[in-house]
Structure formats: structure tokens, C-alpha cells
Amino acid sequence: MNIHHNIEQLSNIKTDLFGKDFLLTWEKSEASIRMILDVANILKEMRASNISTRLFDSGLAISNFRDNSTRTRFSFASASNLLGLAVQDLDEEKSQIAHGETVRETANMISFMSDFIGIRDDMFLGEGNKYMREVGAALDEGFANGVLPSRPGIVNLQCDMDHPTQSLADLAHLQQQFGSLENLRGKKIVMSWAYSPSYGKPLSVPQGVIALMSRFGMNIELAYPEGYGLIPEIVDIAKSNSAQSGGSLNISHSMEEAMQDADIVYPKSWAPFHIMQQRTALLQKADKQGLKELEQVCLANNAKFKNWEYDASKMKQTKNGDALYLHCLPADISGVSCEAGEVNAAVFEKYRIRTYLEAGYKPYVIAAMMLTNKFSQPAEILNKILERKNLRVGI
């Protein structure tokens, strides 16, 4: 009965999701964001109730990871399988891309019977999201000229600007932990830089978090050492969102002060915007020596801020000394995964299972992106799934 009620609630939501790629959360309306979360929760509930949600009898979901991944890679595969699609990895080193094949050619050659392409491209600042749009333009051309029987949807599995599947999984977790999106209004969330013994972590997680959470009336504290800023235009988007939603966004340079009375904390390392600009230029020139030199300079600078670790003393500064800890994983855990890192081992262990629950929303968020891209009436489709009464396991 609860699933039926939740599906019924979808009928009145008007979105901009059908037939559209999901590249940046701030390109989508608030109604569309709520639709993704609602569909994700319904799919999660269906699987827990042993209901098969297979919507495709055949078809491929192409997995194109241009950077390493565990959670997002398997979440994309899980989401595709949940809806009945087979997954095929595009290994660029084993394809003709290594021999100079163009983006427009590759996009069409992999898409003859494909329904979705999931892309992670977060290494090159100014290039990742641009690449996804180039793929999209090639797919538009192929479909318009009859090369492709249908136009595959693109899902951004992390780019240089945003990590929408992560931030939406974070938001789904917060929705569950606090009871509703409305209950997030007025809550203080700290998106804080934290020390890491590596230097090139993308900006897309903190940018995605502030750009999305600012739409729901939250009070955001963006904390980082001087010089570790994010892409200015995306910070401006978050400020504008906060003004419209009745929340706030404050930038500070003290981790201790930022944590004061926080409801939610997200200590996460990232490379400074200007460093990522330099790194991108060196990567594009394949300047290995330049990259080594830049890394040494950055690691030395990072080491000045080893005190930017989320530990018991900082946790005590939060509301009731027990703010909800979030992380996209894997966290740099002091004394476990590294000598010194983002979070104290005992503090992380306290919230470890909850970070797994947080990550567990990602397959359903991706599946919701796929379903709403392919079907204009999600409520109708979800009702048909219930009516056919197919079990996922059993006869």
C-alpha cells in the first residue's frame, strides 16, 4: 500500500527529465530533483519487496570510465541490471580511440543498440562536462540521420564540475535520516576541505554538494584553508540558490569554527581550483616531469594543514557532539588507509555503516535517472510494474 501511495504522489509532478541527459543538477528544476529522489525510493522499496523492475528485454548500457571508480562503477552496473539492461564497459585503450577515432564516430559506433551511456570524466578541468556534451551532440546527429534507432541518454557519473549521482545519493540519505526534504530547511551542513596525502582530488564532490543542498533552505558552511577555493562560478550558483531557498552560504577558513553547532558534516579533500588548472595543462601536454614537480609542491602545501582532520575534538563542536557524518568514500582514514588523513579512525568507525547506507542510494538514483529519461510518465510505468506481479527472486 505504501508503494501504491508513493507512486500516486508522482502523478502530479511535472518535470524536465524525459528524453534529456542528466549532466548537472543545477540544470534541472526542483520538481525534477524531487522526482528523481521519489522514483529512487520507490525502486529501492520495490527491490526490498522482491518485485522485479525489469523494463528492458534487451539493450546495452555503456559504461565509460575515464578515471578509476568502485562505488559509481558498480552502482551504474547495478542500476542498469535493475532495469533489465546489460552493461558493456568501453575500455578506451582497447578501442580504436587509441588509434585516433573521433568522439562523434565512437559515440555512434557504440550506440546501435544502446539505451544509456554513463560517463565519468573528472581529470581535466574544463574538459569533462564538455566531453559529455560532445558525445551528446554526436548522438543527436546519429539519431537525426537514422543511424541510431533511438537516442541513448547520457548519465554524468562525475565530471570536472559536478558529481550528480553522488550529491543526489547524499540528499536521499539526508531525506531518510531527517524524515523529509522539508526538515532539512535551516539545518547547518559543513562542506569542509580535509587533509589528504594526495593532491589531485577533483572539485566535483564539494561543488555538487553546495550546488544541490543550497536548493533546500540549508545553511551551508564552506570551509577550506586560504587558497583552496572551488570554481567561482559554481560557488556563485550555490549562493544564488541559497538566496532563493531561504538558506545561506558562508565561506570560512577555520575547520574548528565551521563545525560549531553543525547538523551535518562532510570533511573531504580536494585540490585547489588554480592547481587543477595547472594540472590540466600539464596532463594535456603529457608533461610527466611537470606533473611530478607540481605534485611535490602541492603535497608540501597540503602538509601545512594536517590539522584539518575531522577528529573527536571537532566532532564535539557540532550539535550535541553528534553531527551526521557524510563522505563519498573512500575516506582517507588516519592510521588505517594512510598515516594522516581526512578523518580520525575512531570517528569514522562511529559513522562507517551510515556512510555505507549513504552510498547504497546511488544505484537507485542512477536507475531513477534512466527511468525518467526513457519514460514520460514514470507513475504509469511504476504502476504497470506492480500490476504484472513479477518476482525478482522465486516463481
Pairing of strands 333-334, 343-344: parallel
Q: What is the mean pLDDT of residues 112-118?
A: 98
- pLDDT tens profile 270-313: 999 999 999 999 988 999 999 999 999 999 999 999 999 999 99
List the grid coordinates of 284.
594535456
Q: Specify the pLDDT at position 94.
A: 75
- pLDDT tens profile 192-249: 999 999 988 999 999 999 999 999 999 999 999 999 999 999 999 999 999 999 999 9
> Any long-range contacts for 146-149 (C-beta under 8 Å, 24+ apart)?
147/108, 148/108, 148/111, 148/112, 149/112, 149/113
Per the CB < 8 A criterion, the answer to whether 243 and 237 are in contact is: no
Q: What is the mean pLDDT of residues 355-373?
A: 98
Length, in residues, of the chain: 395
Confidence label for 96 from pLDDT (cuts 50, 70 and 90): confident
Nearest-angstrom CA–CA distance, 292 and 313: 35
The strand pairing partners of 264, in sequence order, are 189, 324
- 38 Cβ contact list (under 8 Å, min separation 6): 6, 9, 10, 13
As a whole-number percent, the residues of the chain with pLDDT over 90 amount to 93
The predicted model scores a pTM of 0.96
Whether 99 has a pLDDT exceeding 80, the answer reads: no
List the grid coordinates of 103.
568522439
The strand pairing partners of 62, in sequence order, are 88, 117
Whether 134 has a pLDDT exceeding 80, the answer reads: yes
Q: What is the mean pLDDT of the chain?
A: 96
Residue whose grid cell is 511535472: 14
Strand, helix or coil for residue 155? strand
Q: In terms of CATH, what superfamily is 2-162+362-388?
A: Aspartate/ornithine carbamoyltransferase (3.40.50.1370)
Q: Where are the alpha helices (DSSP H) in the chain?
A: 2-10, 30-48, 71-83, 103-109, 128-144, 164-178, 204-213, 232-245, 255-258, 273-284, 288-302, 312-317, 345-359, 362-374, 378-388
Nearest-CA neighbor of 163 among 381, 390, 359? Answer: 359
Nearest-angstrom CA–CA distance, 54 and 293: 50
Q: Where are the domains of the chain?
A: 2-162+362-388, 166-359
Q: Specify the pLDDT at position 200.
A: 81
In single-letter form, the type of residue at position 384 comes to K
Q: Specify the pLDDT at position 1.
A: 57
User: The CATH number of 166-359 is which of 3.40.50.1220, 3.40.50.2300, 3.55.40.20, 3.40.50.1370?
Assistant: 3.40.50.1370
Burial of 320 (0-12, 13-18, 19+ CB in 10 A): exposed
As a whole-number percent, the residues of the chain with pLDDT over 70 amount to 99
Nearest-CA neighbor of 130 among 24, 266, 248? Answer: 24
Q: What is the mean pLDDT of residues 106-117?
A: 97
The answer to whether 2-162+362-388 and 166-359 have equal CATH topology is: yes
- DSSP result, 281-346: HHHHTT-HHHHHHHHHHHHHHHGGGTT--B-HHHHHHSGGG-PEE---S---EETTTBSS-SEEHH
Nearest-angstrom CA–CA distance, 360 and 175: 14
What dihedral angle (degrees, nearest 10) is formed by the CA atoms of 376, 382, 387, 393?
130
